[in-house]
Amino acid sequence: MKAANHQITWLGQLGNNPLAVAGLLIVGLLCIVALSAPWLAPYDPHAIDTWHILESPSRAHLLGTDLLGRDCLSRLIYGARISLLVGIVAVGIATVIGTILGSLAGFYGTWIDGLIMRLVDIILCFPTIFLVMAVIAFLEPSILNIMVVIGLTSWMGVARLVRAEFLSLKQRDFVMAARISGASNARIAFSHILPNAVAPILVATTLGVGGAILTESALSFLGIGVQPPTPSWGNMLTEGKDNLEIAWWLSMFPGLAILVTVLGYNLLGEGLRDALDPRIRDSEGKS
């Protein structure tokens, strides 16, 4: 009953925020585009057409063609798949690691907490791109490796959030009640404390997808991310850089796509944060 009330309230709150709704629409649109790529794209993204090299946007090719005559619009649409895939999987990995480590640190405290927080501080000293570049230099720059590495370097934020939730909720009455009724540590952690942490985790995850997409496109741009011919918005921009003076459309559209996508996720994430936070405080007050 209470959960049902919750859902209607925060969703309604989200609906009142026009920026958040815009974010939601953008994200939704992106998902639709990515899923329907084979039907949506006018051309095959790998189809080389040497008769139509570097054509500016026209009726036949709405966003122009690239150095090998491939249609930019189709490549852009297929690129959405890559960005979405990498973003979601990388953040998924980061969330899982962060939640586990954060809950361990917050729940047990003492040296486990100290150790995990020290690890967080250490990893935060590395500029992410440097670390990711160094790792990918030694593994193959495949999509799987990129996802794993980005996930391994972005779990720290989630860990801190989860730890904070655990630290603050550990002392609460409902936890003591659960302990008295004989619940094991694992059960207390998972069934009682963790559900309260879902809200900030959700916010961090949404915002994290935007960050992951930016990182992946930066890597692809530098040549150590998604390798051509697989279209990724980042490696499309590499080609754009090489042909900057003669083909502005190669640089304009992929970047615009990244901008709109990350913007969408950020708006949605911020909207979720505004919608969920006071709700949580209210619910804790009542419980």
Partner 1 sequence: MQDWKILSRITFSSTIILNMSMFLYLIKKIFTLGSTFLGITLISFMVMHLAPGEPMSLQTDFNPKMTPEMRERLRAQYGLDRPLHIQYLQWLKGLAVLDLGLSFSPDRRPVWDKIKERLPVTLLINILAIGLILVIAVPLGVAAAVHHNSIFDQITTVLVFVAYAAPAFWVALLLMLYFGIYLGWLPISGLHSLMGYTQMSGWEKLLDWCRHLILPVLVSALGGLAGLSRYTRSSMLEVLRQDYITTARAKGLPEKKVIYKHALRNALLPIITILGLSIPGLIGGSVIFESIFAIPGVGQLMWTGVMARDYPLLMGNLVIVSVLTLLGNQLADIGYALADPRIRAGVKTKD
Residue numbers of the site for partner 1 (CB under 8 A)? Answer: 19, 118-119, 121-131, 133-139, 210, 214, 217-218, 221-224, 237, 240-241, 244-245, 248, 251-252, 254-255, 258-263, 266-267, 270
Identify the sign of the CA torsion 90, 92, 94, 96. negative
- Residue 242: CB minimum distance to partner 1, A: 11
What counts of helices (H) and strands (E) characterise the chain? Answer: 13, 0
Q: What is the 3-state secondary structure (H, E, C) of 10-37?
A: HHHHHHHCHHHHHHHHHHHHHHHHHHCH
Closer CB to partner 1, 47 or 67, in the complex: 67
Buried b (16+ CB within 10 A) or exposed e, 217-239: bbbbbeebbbeeebbbbbbbbbb
173 versus 245: smaller Cβ distance to partner 1? 245
The smaller minimum CB distance to partner 1, of residues 43 and 265, is found at 265
Complex with partner 1: residue 89 or 149, whichever CB lies closer: 149
Q: What's the min distance (Å) between Cβ of 143 and partner 1?
A: 18
What's the closest the beta carbon of residue 183 comes to partner 1, in angstroms? 30
- Residue 132: CB minimum distance to partner 1, A: 9
d(CA 287, CA 281): 10
Query: Please, which residue, 19 or 183, has the CB nearer to partner 1?
Result: 19
Which is nearer to partner 1, 186 or 246 (by Cβ)? Answer: 246
Sign of the alpha-carbon torsion through 56, 83, 231, 226? positive
Contact 225, 217 (CB under 8 A): yes
| 41-51: burial string, b at 16+ Cβ within 10 Å, e else | bebebeeeeee
Judged by beta carbon, residue 41 or residue 262, the one nearer partner 1 is: 262
Closest to 171 (Cα-Cα) out of 252, 77, 107: 107
Angle between the N-to-C axes of helices 128-138 and 143-152, in degrees from 0 to 180, rounded to the nearest 10: 140
Minimal distance, residue 199 CB to partner 1, in Å? 19
Q: How far is the CB of 262 from partner 1 (least distance, A)?
A: 4
Taking CA atoms, 3 is separated from 6, 7, 8, 19, 283, in Å, by 5, 6, 9, 26, 10
Q: How far is the CB of 47 from partner 1 (least distance, A)?
A: 26
Angle between helices 72-108 and 156-169 (to 10 degrees): 40
At 168, which amino acid appears?
S
